[in-house]
Amino acid sequence: MTTLQSFDARTGQPLGAALLASSAADIDAAVRAADAAFADWQSSEGTARAALLNALAAALESDREALVALADQESGLGLPRLNGELDRTAFQLRRFAGLAQQGAAFAFTDDPAVAGGPPAGHPAMQRVRVPLGPVAMFSASNFPFAFSVLGGDTASALAAGCSVVVKAHPGHPHTSQRVFGLVQAALKSLNLPAGLVAMVQGAGHEVGVSLVQHPLIAAGAFTGSTRGGAALQAAARQRARPIPFYGELGSINPVVATPQALASGGEALAQTLAGSITLGCGQFCTNPGLLVFQRSEASSAFVAQLVTALQVQQPHVMLTQGMRQALDKGTQAQLAAGAKALLHEPVAALQPRPFLAEVDAATFIAQPDLHEEVFGPASLIVWTDSVAQTLQVLQAVGGSLTVTLWGLNDDTPENRALVRGASAIAGRLLFTGVPTGVAVTAAQQHGGPWPSSTEPMSTSVGDTALDRFLRPVSLQDMPAWLAARHGQPC
Domain harbouring 96, CATH code: 3.40.605.10
Is the residue at 329 inside a domain? Answer: yes
Residues 168 and 213 in one domain: yes
Q: What is the mean pLDDT of residues 31-46?
A: 97
Reduced to 3 states (helix: H, G, I; strand: E, B; else coil), residue 109 is strand
- Provide the sign of the torsion angle of the four alpha carbons 170, 173, 179, 180, taken in this order: positive
The residues annotated as belonging to the active site are: 248, 285
Residues 333 and 196 in one domain: no
Q: Please tell me the predicted confidence (pLDDT) of residue 459.
A: 97
Residue 455 has pLDDT above 80, yes or no: yes
Is the residue at 439 inside a domain? Answer: no
Residues 188 and 72 in one domain: yes
pLDDT confidence band for 110 (50 / 70 / 90)? very high
Q: What is the mean pLDDT of residues 13-22?
A: 95
Neighbouring C-beta atoms of residue 274, cutoff 10 Å: 24
Of 99, 62, 75, nearest to 172 by C-alpha is 75
Is the residue at 489 inside a domain? Answer: no
Give tens-digit pLDDT for 272-287: 999 999 999 999 999 9
Give tens-digit pLDDT for 223-267: 999 999 999 999 999 999 999 999 999 999 999 999 999 999 999
Q: What is the mean pLDDT of residues 297-322?
A: 96
Residues 230 and 314 in one domain: no
Residues 207 and 282 in one domain: no
Neighbouring C-beta atoms of residue 212, cutoff 10 Å: 26
Give tens-digit pLDDT for 406-416: 999 999 999 99
Is the residue at 442 inside a domain? Answer: no
Residues 335 and 370 in one domain: yes
- Provide the sign of the torsion angle of the four alpha carbons 467, 128, 242, 37, taken in this order: positive
Residues 94 and 232 in one domain: yes
Residue 348 has pLDDT above 90, yes or no: no
Is the residue at 49 inside a domain? Answer: yes
Across 29-123, where does the E strand assignment appear? Answer: 109-111
Residue 424 has pLDDT above 90, yes or no: yes
Is the residue at 349 inside a domain? Answer: yes
Q: Is the pTM of this model over 0.75?
A: yes
Between CA 220 and CA 224, with CA 222 as vertex, the angle to 5 degrees is: 160
Q: Is the peptide bond before 119 cis (omega within 30 degrees of 0)?
A: yes
Residue 332 has pLDDT above 80, yes or no: yes
* Region of residue 245 (left: phi > 0; alpha: psi -120 to 50; beta: else): beta
Residues 370 and 457 in one domain: no
Is the residue at 435 inside a domain? Answer: no
Residues 214 and 266 in one domain: no
Give the N- to C-terminal CA distance of the chain in Å, as an integer.
42
Residues 192 and 279 in one domain: no
Q: Please tell me the predicted confidence (pLDDT) of residue 350.
A: 84
Residues 140 and 192 in one domain: yes
Q: Please tell me the predicted confidence (pLDDT) of residue 349.
A: 83
Domain of 319 in residue numbering reads as 254-430
Is the residue at 63 inside a domain? Answer: yes
CATH code where residue 342 lies: 3.40.309.10
The 10 Å CB-count burial string (b at 16+, else e) for 132-144 is bbbbbbbbbbbbb
> What's the domain count of the chain?
2
Residues 165 and 43 in one domain: yes
**Alpha carbon 75 to chain centroid distance?**
17
The 10 Å CB-count burial string (b at 16+, else e) for 67-89 is bbebbbbbbbbbeebbbebbebb
